[in-house]
Amino acid sequence: MGTHLPVAPNLIHPSRSVAGTIIDAAPRSKAVVKSASRVLQILEFFDEVQRDARVGDIAARLGYPQSSTSVLLKSLVQLGYMDYDTKTHTYVPSQRVALLGSWLAEGPVRDGGLFRLMEELNRETAETVILATRNGIYAQYIRVLQATNEMRMNVPIGSRRLLVWSATGFALLVRSPEQEVRALVHRTNAEARSGQKPINARKTLAGIAQVRKKGYSFSRGLVTPGAGLIGMPLPDWLDRRGRPLVIGVSGWIDQLERDETRIVRMLRETIRRYLEPVARDGRPVLAKRKQISSTIRRRK
């Protein structure tokens, strides 16, 4: 598989390759407005490090000019989305940020069960733990807990993988009909970057069929040479709009293959324990509540 390189202790930009560091970079769309992208990536930076930080730390990690990073942070302070400590010269997101999406959260998201699930997997496996959802033709990583082992890679939050050619993608498409999958393959090939090898629909469907059969996906080097991911679909009632979510454990292929049975068992057990409290009739509590609410609305 090649030599494993340890992660350097310094902060680095996720798309750079630095001596002593393996970076799993996310493709970036040219259509994204730069200023909007930078603001959100700053907030994602804090979500990952979970501490206050200086301008220099943030600029170095994200690969931005320090001057423009400083201007963005000061603007966020004025708008109430960032707090600034004049003694330590550090920034940290304010409570206004914490409250932004609170109305969207429910069940295991609101009470923290989903995050505790990820933390336990991260702690017990020492591998990168990823939460992914659909975004166009991509599976997008919306939360990432970085690996803690010595031989690890950095996977930036916001990273995107093709739905039709990744472990997270196969798991996200597990409930999709064949016609929809073929349409996604066609669109992916039509929008492919120059030099990208066309995706074969039959191989995509075979990958999804394996997830349906085994209950999880296992990709080996589909995106990053030498790296893999074991992904498992989360209950479809977890998202208030029924959007699919996948939890994944990512790392080097040889390590994942050695630990496959244990990781799959842990995924199933933590999902059951944290996300599927059952009512007396054996059905998930949140699913039952959702049906009751729907019935009430129809009666009105």
Q: What is the pLDDT of residues 154-169, one digit of tens each?
A: 888 888 999 999 999 9
Average pLDDT, the chain: 81
Residues 108-136 pLDDT 10s = 565 678 889 999 999 999 999 999 999 88
How far is it, in rounded angstroms, from Cα 193 to Cα 213?
32
Mean pLDDT is lowest, of 136-145, 177-186, 261-270, for: 136-145
Task: Give CA–CA dist 200/185, Å, rounded.
Answer: 8
Q: Measuring CA to CA, how many Å separate 94 from each of 46, 81, 98? A: 11, 5, 7
124-163 burial, b if ≥16 CB within 10 A, otherwise e?
Answer: ebbbbbbbbbbeebbbbbbbbbbbeeebbbbbbbbbbbbb
> Given a cut of 50, is residue 293 above it in pLDDT?
no
203 contact partners, CB below 8 Å, separation of at least 6? none
Average pLDDT over residues 13-30: 40
At the topology level, CATH places domain 107-275 in Beta-Lactamase (3.30.450)
Q: Are 40 and 156 in contact (CB under 8 A)?
A: no
Residue 239 to residue 107: CA distance in whole angstroms: 9
Average pLDDT over residues 283-295: 48
Q: What pLDDT, in 10s, does the model give residues 63-83?
A: 999 999 999 999 999 888 899
Strand order in the sheet with 138-145: 160-162, 138-145, 128-135, 245-252, 227-233, 217-220
Rounded CA-CA distance 8/22 in Å is: 9
Q: How far apart, in whole angstroms, are the C-alpha atoms of residue 131 and residue 155? A: 12
d(CA 212, CA 216): 7
pTM (two decimals): 0.71
Q: How far apart are CA 288 and CA 293, in angstroms?
A: 9
From the list 86, 226, 203, the residue with the least C-alpha distance to 153 is: 226
| Cβ count within 10 A of residue 93 | 18
Cα separation of 149 and 192, whole Å?
A: 34
Show me where the domains of the chain are located: 34-100, 107-275
How far is 23 from 16, CA to CA, in rounded Å?
Answer: 7
Beta carbons within 8 Å of 143's beta carbon, 6+ residues apart: 47, 115, 118, 130, 131, 157
Question: What is the spatial distance between Cα 255 and Cα 181, in angstroms, rounded to a whole number?
Answer: 31
CATH 1.10.10.10 fits 34-100, yes or no: yes
Q: How far is CA 51 from the centre of its chain?
A: 20
Q: Please write down the HEC assignment for all residues of 181-232.
A: HHHHHHHHHHCCCCCCCCCCHHHHHHHHHHHHHHCCEEEECCCCCCEEEEEE
Asked if 132 and 231 count as a contact pair (C-beta separation under 8 A), the reply is yes
